[in-house]
Amino acid sequence: MQNALRLTLTVALTGALVGACSRAEGEATDEAPGSQQLLETITEQDDPDAIENCLLLVWSEEEEPDIEFDRANDVVKGGAISCATGASPSRFEAAIAALREAARSGDKARILAQLGIPLLYIDENGERQDLTEEQVEALFDDIFDPHMLDMLQGLDLSQMTVEKEKGAFFALGSLWLVVDEKGQPKVVTVNRQALLEAATAAVDQADLGQGRLID
């Protein structure tokens, strides 16, 4: 059954991309276009089916795509998750759930498993450091202080913002996730300065009676 689904997705994706890729006819190339190039081609088209085509592409690279969930949750602030990141909403949901549970458990190893290395760490004063795994472990309590752990425990896919070719973020950029070579979203930036700014903005909004969540 899985093979049948994959064949269906491949046929649908091929049909969707024929028009988009036809303009490249006549250009010499020895390789088929990669996933990122195809995504760029799709999103450049003025096509109302662009989001569905992005989903078809990311599904074609997954063993068991969650089609119903992905269609219902692909659009967030900034655009479609699939088009902006090259990964499905269900992949991000799994990564976010893992981060939530790791933060709630307080298990250092589980949190470390969700990080991309090097990790860009920006402290409360705006100082930037690209950290190795050893440096992350040494600074773990500074990076993931109680405020950051609280934020991780409250992560929700609906509050995520995407930015094309950059990734996805929460709370004004306090946390950035990027899809790795295996197609898995990983935390690549922890920004405590942005977290403080998000907290201040939340307080200001509450004072004004505008109690919406900070993206």
Q: Look at residue 130 and give its three-state secondary structure.
A: strand
Q: What is the mean pLDDT of residues 113-121?
A: 97
pTM of the full structure: 0.79
Q: Under CATH, which number does the domain 90-201 receive? A: 3.10.450
Tokens of 128: 């930037």
Note the pLDDT of residue 64.
94
17 versus 105: the higher-pLDDT residue is 105
* pLDDT number for residue 24: 43
Which element (helix H / strand E) includes 109?
helix 108-112
Q: How confident is residue 39, by pLDDT bands cut at 50, 70 and 90? A: low
Characterize the bridge pairing of strands 128-131 and 115-122. antiparallel
How many CB atoms neighbour CB 75 within 10 A?
A: 15
Give the model's pLDDT for residue 165.
87
Question: Hey, CA dihedral for 50, 52, 54, 57, is it positive or negative?
Answer: negative
Closest C-alpha among 59, 46, 124 to residue 86: 59
Give the model confidence (pLDDT) of 148-195 as tens digits: 999 999 999 999 999 998 999 999 999 999 999 999 999 999 999 999
Which of 40-54, 145-159, 198-212 holds the top average pLDDT? 145-159
Provide φ and ψ at 56, rounded to 5°.
Answer: -60, -40
Domain ranges for the chain: 2-65, 90-201
| Pick from 32-36, 48-52, 59-63, 206-210: least confident | 32-36
Cα 61 to Cα 88: distance, rounded to the nearest angstrom: 10
Q: Are the C-beta atoms of residues 164 and 84 closer than 8 Å to each other?
A: yes
Phi/psi-derived region of residue 36, left when phi > 0, alpha when psi is between -120 and 50, beta in every other case: alpha
